[in-house]
Amino acid sequence: MSDLRHTPRDHGGDLDDAAARFGGARTAWLDLSTGINPVAYTVPAIPAAAWTTLPDTTARAALEQAARRFWRVPARAGVLAAPGTSSLIARIPALRPAATVTIPSPTYNEHRAAFRAAGWRLGDNGTAHVAVHPNNPDGRLWRRDEFPTAALTVIDESFCDTAPQESLIAMADRPGVIVLKSVGKFWGLAGMRLGFAIGDPQLIARLGELLGPWPVPGPAIHVGSVLLNDAAWTERTRERLAADIAALDTLMSRRGVELVGGTTLFRTYAVDDAAAWQERLAQRQIWTRVFPYSKHWLRLGLPAPESWPRLQGALAG
């Protein structure tokens, strides 16, 4: 077993650091270091009351019902809207007494950080089990039979809306299971800070208590309800993302790199020297993602439609 207190934390989206290292205004950079949809959902008009009054209980219930329909949540599972999945990840370890948690690596590092802060240790056969599905950064998909019986099972599906047929949401009616969903990735609204915990009703109720009253602001409740009911946009976006990621794969394969995996929101490639690749592209003010545990993995998100020529030129240069 290893102590989680010394787990390193690194993230994409750190454009301030990139600009400090390589120059240029933050706004001049093309950020491909995250897995956020670059063509975000168009935010609808927000009623004035969403800004001027405390969040409406009825509106929040409607949002959670929209989430039930969209993700086909089992009837016995609870649903909780929250101010982003990060807020949920930070609180989930407090749902069980600190012991040993199993978090297969490599994966999104905030889960380890959260369990570390709550006094847990990392090891095999833990009383808690965490799986990111699809995994970030290699896109690994988990099967139901790979999950051991645990007092707490967390399935982070922040990137699963690109492949709904792979969702493990049916497991949300099992005791001890929590499935996480994010609006920031697929809908491209990371700044709205809206996520959901779906699963064991007792655990979901406890999470609600930990979040306190009015956890989701009124504007996010309104926008979330609209986008979860917009089936036409969802279908168009899945088709566009699939086409765009295929184009990115083609572009990178012409440079002789190997695909490690990913989703239709990001790709991880094996290159000869990931740090050198990152620096080369950074000289053109294009920011990518490298990982402390691999000298060869380079992750790229999708550029916005108008930014493809810029990426193509940088890779050709």
What 3 state SS string does the chain have? CEEHHHCCCCCCCCHHHHHHHHCCCHHHCEECCCCCCCCCCCCCCCCHHHHHCCCCHHHHHHHHHHHHHHHCCCCCCEEEEECCHHHHHHHHHHHCCCCEEECCCCCCCHHHHHHHHCCCEECCCCCEEEEECCCCCCCCCCCHHHCCCCCEEEEECCCHHHCHHHCCHHHHHCCCEEEEEECCCCCCCHHHCCEEEEECHHHHHHHHHHHCCCCCCHHHHHHHHHHHCCHHHHHHHHHHHHHHHHHHHHHHHCCCCEEEEECCCEEEEECCCHHHHHHHHHCCCEECEEECCEEEEEEEECCCHHHHHHHHHHHHC
Q: Is the pLDDT of residue 6 over 70?
A: no
pLDDT mean across residues, the chain: 95
Q: Do 67 and 181 reside in the same domain of the chain?
A: yes
pLDDT of residue 310: 97
The answer on pLDDT for 2 being more than 50 is no
Residues 83 and 120 in one domain: yes
Residue range 144-166: mean pLDDT, rounded: 97
pTM value is: 0.95
Residue 80 has a pLDDT of 98
For residues 237-263, give the mean pLDDT.
Answer: 97
Q: Are residues 91 and 199 in the same domain?
A: yes
Q: How large a percentage of the chain has pLDDT more than 70?
A: 97
Instruction: Reply yes or no on whether the pLDDT at 8 is more than 90.
Output: no
What's the confidence (pLDDT) of residue 317? 74
Given pLDDT bands bounded at 50, 70 and 90, which one contains residue 14? Answer: confident
Q: Are residue 268 and residue 152 in the same domain, yes or no? A: no
Q: Is the pLDDT of residue 9 over 70?
A: no
Domain limits at 26?
2-39+232-316
Q: How many domains are contained in the chain?
A: 2
pLDDT for the residue numbered 78: 98
For residues 35 and 160, membership in a common domain is answered with no
Residue 34 confidence (pLDDT) = 95
Predicted pLDDT at 159: 98
Query: For residue 10, is pLDDT > 70?
Result: no
Regarding whether 53 and 11 lie in a shared domain, the answer is no
Same domain, 277 and 213: no
- Do 71 and 219 belong to one domain? yes
Q: What is the CATH number of the domain that holds 67?
A: 3.40.640.10
Asked whether residue 276 falls in the same domain as residue 238, the answer is yes
Within this chain, do residues 267 and 250 fall inside the same structural domain, yes or no? yes
Q: What is the per-residue pLDDT for 62? A: 97
